[in-house]
């Protein structure tokens, strides 16, 4: 599918919305510092022991207390039962002192191990979980049978790192399954999705190497890049012209001061950007990579299993051969209903990483029941049932994206992506929108600064193959109703 180059949000959204967003954050910040001063004046603020520096960083702690803490009821919602097409959110008290506790009756039921009653939770349509293909929901005949069999055979954990006895025949089977699914030589699995990037990138590059990373790459990529010791340069999101200029200049000028050639140059992009719902221009990235003899690392956390006609990810979507990607990375938390992740590629590259990657030596291997779940999910994806699930996911996500776009709401991202962000912008609307949707039985993820730029707070809808067309259309109706109340029609009206 051809890549669609989109206008950057910062130049597309009108200046009035931007100014009122800055004004909203400014007022909240001023009032927050005024409250801090008053609390200190009245002696209500716990003092740091004499001679000690504050244990928490100043602005981050202020932001948690005075901004995030005021709307904490919109985040971290405790649930009961599986995160399926619908989700049961337990009742909580209103936020107080940057905390939001369970109601007394819910806490009592939890402490005494009593079943929750219907008046102790709100059952909502789940538009917040990464359950793209519905494997996170229990009851699948093949998956459940294999998971229970693995539990009885191998137990809950290998209790050892993969290199020191933490890898079983089941783990080897999963690595072969991943490699075969992606049509590459070899794969290596990890016990934690975030830990893949955080530990694999330092095993690939180090001092004297250059990482060129998309400006909105995930935190795990940022963490791994910083831990590697390599020099890091970023390019504006999805700007292939800027990427090529950075690569060309890096080759010409070499390393700082010495101007020696870089030991290696590694370009890192995501298949589907988790906060944008956008598919990367992979074909162009591969063209640049080949032209300048760089290495390419592709994060497919949100695309493997969910993007492409057969769930093969953004390579299938863009018509790119997986062998043209040096390192394919993905996680099992989204489309496979489990935990962990993988990297895959040529055997001569994967095998050395297996011996030096920190997570393979210092972290326990992936839980065997989860390994079995992932293998089962791969097998289902390659069946007629899997193709139907992928088709249903694409129909659901494309339907919701089209309906919201047609209504005049500011929706970000590409068709074919199960992540559908919708801009909220102003800080006061973050909590108001989330609470109104929750009252109407829709559970969503609202995202604000610092996870996204300060101007562009948003709702991130995550669609599943488990959702029905009727549920999607009902959700759209309620979203439009709430958007009318909170003035979110940024494509139709000056102030929404």
Q: What is the pLDDT of residues 23-38, one digit of tens each?
A: 999 999 999 999 988 9
Q: Percent of the chain beyond pLDDT 90?
A: 80
Which residue in 361, 341, 365, 339 sits closest to 158, CA to CA?
Answer: 365
Average pLDDT, the chain: 92
Residues sharing a CB contact under 8 Å with residue 211, sequence separation 6 or more, in sequence order: 201, 205, 225, 228, 230, 231, 232, 233, 266, 268
Query: pLDDT-based confidence at 425, cuts 50/70/90?
Result: very high
Which has more pLDDT, 495 or 147? 147
Query: pLDDT-based confidence at 378, cuts 50/70/90?
Result: very high
Query: pLDDT-based confidence at 2, cuts 50/70/90?
Result: low
What pLDDT score was predicted for residue 1? 61
Query: pLDDT-based confidence at 260, cuts 50/70/90?
Result: very high
Please compute, for residue 221, the number of CA atoms within 13 A of its CA located in the half-sphere on the CB side: 26
Q: Residue 74, exposed/middle/buried by CB under 10 A (0-12, 13-18, 19+)? A: buried
What pLDDT score was predicted for residue 433? 96
What pLDDT score was predicted for residue 10? 67
Q: What is the pLDDT of residues 190-240, one digit of tens each?
A: 999 999 999 999 999 999 999 999 999 999 999 999 999 999 999 999 999
Residue 98: is its pLDDT beyond 90?
Answer: no
Tell me which H or E stretch contains 176: helix 169-182
What distance in Å separates the CA atoms of residue 304 and residue 99, rounded to the nearest whole number?
A: 36
Q: What is the pLDDT of residues 142-164, one digit of tens each?
A: 999 999 999 999 999 999 999 99
Residue 45: is its pLDDT beyond 80?
Answer: no
Q: Percent of the chain beyond pLDDT 70?
A: 97
The pTM is what? 0.93
Q: What is the pLDDT of residues 99-123, one digit of tens each?
A: 899 999 999 999 999 999 999 999 9
Please compute, for residue 374, the number of CA atoms within 13 A of its CA located in the half-sphere on the CB side: 30
pLDDT (mean) for 70-87 = 90
Which has more pLDDT, 434 or 65? 434
Q: What is the rounded radius of gyration, in angstroms, for the C-alpha atoms of the chain?
A: 24
């Amino acid at each position: 599918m051809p890549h669609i180059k989109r206008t950057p949000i910062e130049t597309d959204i009108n200046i009035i919305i931007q100014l009122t967003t800055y004004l909203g954050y400014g007022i909240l910040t001023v009032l927050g510092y005024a409250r801090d001063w008053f609390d200190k004046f009245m002696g209500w603020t716990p003092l740091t022991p004499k001679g000690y520096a504050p244990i928490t960083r100043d602005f981050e702690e202020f932001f948690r207390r005075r901004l995030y803490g005021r709307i904490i009821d919109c985040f971290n919602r405790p649930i009961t039962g599986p995160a399926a097409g619908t989700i049961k959110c337990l009742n909580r008290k209103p936020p107080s002192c940057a905390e939001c506790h369970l109601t007394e009756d819910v806490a009592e039921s939890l402490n005494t191990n009593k079943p929750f009653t219907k008046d102790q939770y709100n059952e909502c349509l789940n538009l917040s979980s990464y359950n793209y293909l519905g494997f996170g929901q229990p009851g699948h005949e093949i998956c459940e049978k294999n998971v229970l069999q693995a539990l009885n055979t191998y137990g809950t954990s290998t209790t050892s790192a993969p290199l020191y006895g933490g890898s079983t025949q089941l783990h080897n089977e999963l690595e072969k399954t991943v490699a075969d699914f992606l049509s590459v030589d070899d794969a290596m699995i990890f016990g934690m999705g975030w830990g893949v990037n955080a530990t694999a990138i330092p095993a690939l590059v180090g001092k004297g190497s250059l990482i060129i990373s998309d400006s909105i790459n995930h935190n795990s990529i940022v963490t791994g890049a910083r831990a590697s010791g390599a020099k890091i340069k970023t390019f504006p999101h999805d700007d292939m012209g800027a990427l090529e200029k950075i690569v060309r200049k890096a080759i010409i000028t070499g390393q700082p001061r010495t101007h020696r050639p870089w030991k290696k140059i590694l370009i890192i992009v995501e298949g589907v950007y988790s906060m944008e719902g956008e598919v990367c221009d992979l074909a162009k990235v591969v063209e640049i990579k080949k032209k300048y003899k760089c290495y390419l690392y592709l994060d497919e956390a949100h695309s493997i299993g969910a993007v492409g006609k057969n769930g093969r990810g953004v390579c299938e979507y863009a018509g790119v051969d997986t062998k043209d990607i040096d390192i394919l990375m993905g996680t099992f938390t989204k489309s496979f209903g489990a935990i962990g992740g993988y990297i895959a590629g040529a055997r001569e590259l994967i095998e050395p990483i297996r011996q030096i990657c920190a997570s393979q030596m210092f972290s326990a291997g992936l839980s065997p029941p989860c390994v079995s779940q992932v293998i089962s999910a791969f097998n289902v994806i390659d069946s007629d049932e899997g193709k139907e699930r992928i088709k249903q996911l694409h129909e659901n996500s494309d339907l919701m994206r089209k309906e919201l776009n047609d209504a005049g709401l500011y929706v970000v991202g590409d068709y074919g992506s199960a992540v559908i962000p919708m801009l909220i912008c102003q800080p006061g609307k973050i909590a108001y929108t989330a609470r109104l949707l929750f009252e109407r039985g829709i559970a969503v993820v609202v995202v604000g600064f610092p996870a996204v730029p300060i101007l562009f707070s948003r709702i991130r809808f995550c669609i599943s193959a488990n959702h029905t067309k009727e549920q999607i259309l009902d959700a759209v109706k309620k979203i439009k109703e709430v958007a009318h109340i909170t003035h979110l029609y940024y494509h139709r009206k000056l102030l929404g």
